[in-house]
Amino acid sequence: MKPLDGITLLDLSRVLAGPYCTMLLAELGARVIKVERPDGGDDARAFGPHVDGQSGYFASVNRGKQSLALDLKAPADRALFERLLGRADVLVENYRPGALARLGYDWATLHARWPRLIYGAVSGFGHTGPDRHKPAYDMIVQGMGGLMSVTGEPGRPPVRVGTSVGDITAGLFLSNGLLAALYQRERTGQGVFVDVAMLDGQIAILENAIARYFATGQAPGPLGARHPAITPFGAFKAADGHLTLACGNDALFASLCAVLGAADLAADPRFADNPGRTAHADALQAALEAHLAKRPVAEWLPLLDAAGVPCGPIHDVGQAVHHPQVQARHMVVRAGGLKMAGNPIKISGMPDPTERPAAPALDGDRAAILAWLEETP
């Protein structure tokens, strides 16, 4: 058994935010029927890189789903879609607000006809507010939401976070909202409308930056790898490269100094507590790196680990996915012959195999879906 066994989800979404959400729910056991345009389907099917004719991008967020091609402007396909709505638990879409309403599938209409149906929508700016009809991509909301203002190094041009956190966080928040809606429906018998905006998600994850702004009245800027309130906390240069250190309290800083043989730093009144270390972060960085320069990264890490000092290497993607801890947690899986990221949600009793069902071919599950519709609910 998986937690969402028996739940059916109609997925009208495409590219990333919506498909990421529905992929997570498929991993938790939901049957996800991906409803795609007949003329090519999800745009992401064309995104590279391709392996044996398959888009790795598309496969990574659509594994384990079924595909049905429908033209929602054609009467016969609309009739089939409405039969699916009558059997589904959840509908997910990531069109601009108003797009489904123009097809006659707005929330009020859907709720009146199928009151148990849960409707999940993810869009750039949400279904309310003055910008609700504006188009958005990840880059737009990273910029508007303030994330790019605290990313990168001081005095350098704005930098996008190196992964699509605008889409991914929206997909995560939508999956969380849909799970809550399913739980609520168990008690009320009624579906609800779950509205998630990518911009809202960027505001929600700014945590320390927003707290600092409201506390000080000053908008924080980029600090490179440093933390604005904890020191030492960042990337530090050793003899042959960089490592990460995170000393969240005075005891950890004392342990770090002991490992480095840095009695001078432990005794320095500037570094006696975290506020002092943060106020003198640049001086402390230079002093720590003078000690770290005596050994390569591979020699420092086991010494720091043995002392209980939080530390780690800085991996590229290839090194990260081949790390023994990542492999042991099944965070690299194979689906349809392609390797991709696994599921970070580990639940006791729920299988977590390294082989996953492949992403569907466009309209590849039509016969199975039609046969299911003929079965007695």
Residues labelled as active-site residues: 227
Torsion on CA atoms 143, 159, 61, 128, rounded to nearest 10: -10
Spatial separation of the C-alpha atoms in residues 43 and 345, rounded to whole Å? 27
Spatial separation of the C-alpha atoms in residues 203 and 81, rounded to whole Å? 35
299, two tokens: 């020699």
Strand, coil or helix: 373 = helix
Spatial separation of the C-alpha atoms in residues 20 and 32, rounded to whole Å? 12
206, two tokens: 């700014």
163, two tokens: 């992964």
CA 177 to chain centre: 14
Spatial separation of the C-alpha atoms in residues 132 and 127, rounded to whole Å? 5
> In the chain, at which residue ranges do the beta strands (DSSP E only) sit?
8-11, 31-36, 50-51, 54-55, 66-69, 90-93, 118-123, 193-197, 233-237, 242-246, 311-313, 332-335, 338-341, 355-356
CB 292 within 8 A of CB 239: yes
19, two tokens: 């498909």
| First-residue to last-residue Cα distance in the chain | 20
